[in-house]
Amino acid sequence: MSTQERSRKKPLTRAMRSDGEPLGIKEYEMSGGYEGLGKALRDMSPHDVIEEVTASNLRGRGGAGFPTGMKWSAVPPDDGSAPHRYVISNSDEMEPGAFKDRILMEGNPHQLVEGLIIAGYATQSDRGYIFLRWAYGRSAQRLKRAIEEAYGAGYLGHNILNSGYSLDIYLHISAGRYICGEETALLNSIEGKRAIPRGRPPFPQVCGLWGRPAVVNNAETLSNVPHIIRNGADWYRALSLSADGGTKMYAVSGKVKNPGAWELPMGITMRELLYDHAGGIKEGLKLKGIIPGGASTDFLLEEHLDTAMDYDSVQKAGSRLGTGTMIILDDKTCPVGMVHNLERFFSRESCGWCTPCREGLPWVEKMLRAIENGQGHHEDIEILEEHTRLLRPGNTFCVHAPGAMEPLQSALKFFRADFEQHIEEGRCPYK
């Protein structure tokens, strides 16, 4: 396989510089940048763009895995009644264990900008926002420069490439909180309101930002769009090992020999990701559990290592692909302490809008803290299990609390003996 062929199999990262500096607009153009935008504006209608993205089987990379083309197609036709329509990059990456979007935005910010412009054209939006996590200062600097360069080259602003299509993009720095990553809470935050989720329907594609049609996509999702339009849906599907199209930014953290992130074909196995790319568990340790898709997904075990890392396969195994960022639990790390750390985060990040989440998550965190400190009781385990049922979808206003319950419910299932040992010995046996 030639170097060019290999690079085409990693469209998101192939052009990134080895020194960590971002691609400027000239370097990005030399790598094929903005060719997808030119093709879309020159040869395709907005409907054609949506059809191509739909045919590519691109699914949202933010965690839910919703088909991107289907989301775009839900935007009503532009009849001129709405003064503005919006397209938004959700770059508020705050899921513990996730850092894939930061790599893309810091290494190739123009890729996200181009993807957002194409998405704007497809949905006939005239305003775009990049909603960025407040802590991503380097990403903010590089995205700001990329936006300025895109304006200077005629890729943004009025009458882009003499096509008659116009779009302005604004970089919006989030004020913080994990809940801002939920798309309707994100919309409220941009509007200057309290960042709480909205009831649905109406859905954002119909009534979103300031009551106008708005589409929200994850940063990695949008970064795929230029390559799909430039190379075609068939090419993009062929990159994958599963029915889900394309490549994926996978990552591994924990006590492994080579923690990091890699762009790999969608559908590689957990075993390949852990051992071929992350180097396996560190010497002297054994694998105890895996959180496959970020902190709000269920634990899986060593017996699941041959599961393909795609949306349907991970779900069948009993968890979710989520962000595709694996967190490894080894046999020398306390599972109770690990889950307590996660629940402390989710408890702190609750928006407080609904009672089950506002009151339930702090109660869960308090009980786990007591068990970890050797002050728990056997009935505490039953109460924790009850919370995993009471905080399921349908009992809370959004999926924040249900997501928080996923690592807890699976830890109680797979590592119950560790919880009981803490209680019986009155201490954490891992310390």
Q: What integer pLDDT is reported at residue 96 of this predicted model?
A: 87
Which of 193, 219, 238 terminates a domain? The answer is 238
- 387 and 312 in a single domain? The answer is no
Eight-class DSSP state of 352: -
Q: Does residue 430 belong to any structural domain of this protein?
A: no
Written as one letter, the residue type at 75 is: V
- Helix and strand numbers (H, E) in the chain are 18, 8
Same domain for 82 and 45?
yes
163 and 277 belong to one structural domain: no
User: DSSP 3-state assignment of 148?
Assistant: helix
Give tens-digit pLDDT for 397-412.
999 999 999 999 999 9
One domain, residues 259 and 193:
no
pLDDT level of residue 6 (50, 70, 90 thresholds): very low
**Whether residue 185 is found in the same domain as residue 257:** no
Over 80: is that where the pLDDT of 3 sits? no
User: Is residue 196 located within the same domain as residue 303?
Assistant: no
The answer as to whether 107 is a domain residue is yes
The whole domain housing 159 covers 3-238
Residue 308: pLDDT over 50: yes
Specify whether the CB–CB gap between 266 and 310 falls below 8 A: yes
123 shares a domain with 28: yes
Residue 305, in any domain of the structure: yes
pLDDT at 15 over 90: yes
Give the number of other CB atoms < 10 A from CB of residue 358. Answer: 16
Region 234-263 average pLDDT? 96
Query: What are the pLDDT digits (tens) for 41-67?
Result: 999 999 999 999 999 999 999 878 899
Residue 431 lies in a domain: no
pLDDT value at residue 5: 46
User: Taking all residues of the chain, what is their mean pLDDT, rounded to a whole number?
Assistant: 94
Same domain, 100 and 23: yes
pLDDT reading at 2 higher than 50? no
Same-domain status, 234 and 254: no
The CATH number that applies at residue 315 is: 3.10.20.600
Return all residues near 216 (Cβ < 8 A) that are at least 6 apart: 88, 89, 90, 183, 186, 187, 204, 208
Collect all residues with Cβ–Cβ distance below 8 Å to 55 and sequence separation of at least 6: 69, 233, 234, 237
Give the chain's domain count. Answer: 3
Residues 6+ apart with CB under 8 A from 275: none
Q: What is the pLDDT of residue 107?
A: 96
Check whether residue 182 and residue 301 sit in a common domain.
no
Q: Which two tokens stand for residue 166?
A: 């116009």
CATH of the domain at 341: 1.20.1440.230
Q: What does the pLDDT read at residue 97?
A: 85
Where does a domain end: 271, 299, 330?
Answer: 330
The predicted structure's pLDDT at residue 80: 77
Tell me if 195 is assigned to some domain: yes
User: CB-side exposure of 378: number of CA atoms within 13 Å?
Assistant: 3
DSSP class per residue in 209-273? GGGS-EEEEEHHHHHHHHHHHHH-HHHHHHT-SSSS-SEEEEEEESSBSS-EEEEEETT-BHHII
CATH code (residue 117):
3.40.50.11540
Q: In the prediction, which pLDDT does 200 show?
A: 87
Name the pLDDT band for 8 (thresholds 50, 70, 90): low
* Mean pLDDT on 306-331: 95
In a domain, 160, yes or no: yes
Q: Of 286, 303, 330, which residue sits at a domain end?
A: 330
- As a whole-number percent, the residues of the chain with pLDDT over 70 amount to 98
Residue 109 in any domain: the answer is yes
Task: Say if residue 274 is in the same domain as residue 421.
Answer: no
In this structure, the answer to whether residues 202 and 294 fall within a common structural domain is no
